[in-house]
Structure 1
Amino acid sequence: MRNVSILIPNEAVLASIADPRIMFTGVNDFLAAAGKPPLFNVQLVGLEKEVRLHGGLFSVHTDAVLSEVKKTDLVVIPAFGGDINDSLKRNEAFIPWITQQHHQGAEVASLCIGAFLLASTGLLNGKECSTHWRFANEFREMFPKVTLVDDRIVTEQKGLYSSGGATSYWNLLLYLVEKYAGRDISILAAKMFALEIDRKSQSPFIMFNGQKTHEDEPIKKAQEFIEANITEKISVEDLAMKYAIGKRHFERRFKKATNNSPLEYIQRVKVEAAKKHLESSRKNVNEVMYDVGYSDTKAFRNVFKKVTGLSPMEYRNKYNKAG
């Protein structure tokens, strides 16, 4: 039987505690119905016996405190709320325990922004990781040694797992169920919980908001210029000349400040504007394309799909009720 320890951090999001417990105990129920023994021993593990969440609105009674769990097989780190730095400080006692368990052979899975706590252990240094797209800039600033994969829902790196934002952690839970219990059980779980199995990207949900917390003022002005001139065709050469910076130096500074190349930034700003048109207007795809400065249908479609994972028409059909 595999021991699963679901951590109960301070400021934890209640659903991200309950849902993994429901998933793993649900698998035990499926197996029992088939006359098979349970596969998971699920425990809620906290720093104290009772953890109060959501301003004291809810209390979680743990099965064990951290010091009582000497060895486990899978550590699940839920999402947490509040200020990230404050939350990490309040939960730093988990870090040596998580590290020790991994060194003893346990696998570790973070859900949504639980990735911040996992990354705080240093175990992800030099590895890939997923988290909620909304916190991508903060994550990169805090953990420059970790490669954040913005669009991916599930990452696996040598026994370390992470998921994308919000409820996409269900896909990581399905992924783990398939690994431990097999494809048939994961399909059964997907059907029972009405989940889309094998969903790999959170790209359609990402709302691009360019990173502007840096101190490079010419680059910040270039970003603002791009965002104010969506309908124009803007080249990297024009931007470099406008702000009197050599092209290669401009590209390096832009990438360092924003985590995007100038071309990527231009594309993402235009695609974000196109998404808003496709979501709320009655304009057809070609009209939207012209509105954001594209004249080549194929180029627009390719860039849009690269950024969102969907074609412009698929995106419009998915999010525009009138469409």
Structure 2
Amino acid sequence: MKTVSILVPESSVPQAIADPQYLFSTVNQFLLASGKQALFNVQLVGQAKEVKLNAGLFSVHVDKQLNEVEQTDLVFIPALFGNMQQAIAQNKALIPWINDQYNKGAEVASLCVGAFLLASTGLLNGKKCSTHWGFSSEFRQLFPEVELVDGSIVTEENRIYSSGGANSYWNLLLHLVEKYTDRETAILASKYFAIDIDRNSQAAFAMFKGQKEHKDDVIKKAQEFIEQNIHERISVESLADQYGVGRRTFERRFKTATNNSVLEYIQRIKIESAKRCFESSRKNINEVMYDVGYTDTKAFRTIFKKITGLTPLEYRNKYSKQI
């Protein structure tokens, strides 16, 4: 029997507590129906017997308080809600407990922005991690010693797991079901819950927001120029000359400020514009390609798929309102 402890932090997302509880309890039912024994002892764990969420709209009654759990096999840290730094401060009492369980041999898994609380334990220092694409810049600022893997759905290293944004955590849940049971049971669960098993990227859902949360005014001006001239072919040399900065210095400052190289930033801005065109217009792929400054179909297709995980045609067919 594997003990699964689902934490109930203050300021957490109720669904990210209920979903793993629902899934692992359902897997127990699958096992019993096939003549096997239930495998998971699923419990909700919190600082207090009752944890109120969403300004008291929801109330969660835990099975055990922290001091009642001596040892567990798997700890889930659900997604947090609101201001991440405030949420971490509210739940600082959970940090030594998480560390203690990990040191006793438990595996630890964070769901979506639960990665912020997981990273606060120090367990992720020097390790890879996934989180919601929309919080990547803030995460890097708060936890520079953690290697954030952009766009990843599931990351695993040294008994520590993390997942991408929002419902991406279902793929981590299914990954753990397969690890503890077998592939057949994981596929059954994916069909039962209508989850696309083995999805490995959240890139198609990511919206590039420009990464301007820095104080380098020259780089901000360069970013704005790129965004206002999407249809043009822009070179690193021309940008550096335009702002009176040597190329190497400009590239270094750009990377430091945005966490992207100049070329990566230009590509992401252009592809984000192309995505919006595919979603809201009847333009064909070549028209969109020219609109965002590409003339080579193969290059456009390659870069588009690298950034979104889909070909231009696949993306248009999936997200266009016009089809």
Normalised-by-shorter TM-score class = over 0.9
Q: Deviations over 1:12-38 (max 9, x none)?
A: 100000000011111100011112111
1:320 aligned residue: 320
Look up the match of 1:26. Answer: 26
Could you list the per-position Cα deviations for residues 48-92 of structure 1 after superposition, in whole angstroms to 9, with x for gaps in the alignment? 000001110110000011111111110000001011111110011
- Structure 2 CA distance for aligned equivalents of residues 37 and 209 of structure 1: 48
2:110 is matched with which residue? 110
Secondary structure (helix, strand or coil) at the match of 2:171 reads helix
Q: For residue 26 of structure 1, give the secondary structure of its aligned residue in structure 2.
A: helix
> What residue is the counterpart of 1:244 in the other structure?
244
Report the counterpart of residue 132 of structure 1 in structure 2: 132
Aligned counterparts of 1:221 and 1:321: Cα–Cα separation in 2:
34
CA distance in structure 2 between the partners assigned to 1:231 and 1:194 by the alignment:
40
Structure 2 residue aligned with 1:269: 269
- Paired residues, number: 323
Aligned equivalents of 1:317, 1:232: Cα separation in 2: 27
Sequence identity of aligned pairs in percent?
66
Measure the CA separation in 2 of the matches of 1:76 and 1:104: 15
TM-score with structure 1 length normalisation?
0.99
Secondary structure, in 3 states, of the residue corresponding to 2:4?
Answer: strand
Cα distance in 1 between the residues matched to 2:218 and 2:61? 53
Task: Tell me, in whole angstroms, the C-alpha distance in 1 between the residues paired with 2:68 and 2:14.
Answer: 23
Give the alignment of 1:1-323 within 5 angstroms. 1-323=1-323
CA distance in 1 between counterparts of 2:303 and 2:155 reads 24
Whole-Å separation in 2 of the counterparts to 1:227 and 1:157: 37
Q: Which runs of 5+ in 1 are unaligned?
A: none
TM-score (ref. length: structure 2): 0.99
**In the TM superposition, what whole-angstrom CA distance separates every residue of 1:93-146 from its partner, at most 9, and x where no partner exists?**
111110111111000000000000001111111111100000011001111111
Q: Distance in 1 between matches of 2:148 and 2:125?
A: 11
Equivalent AA in structure 1 for residue 203 of structure 2: S
| Runs of 4+ deviating beyond 3 Å | none
Secondary structure in structure 1 of the residue aligned to 2:56: coil
In structure 2, what is the Cα distance between the partners aligned to 1:80 and 1:119? 13
Residues in 2 aligned to 1:243 and 1:69: alpha-carbon distance in whole angstroms: 59
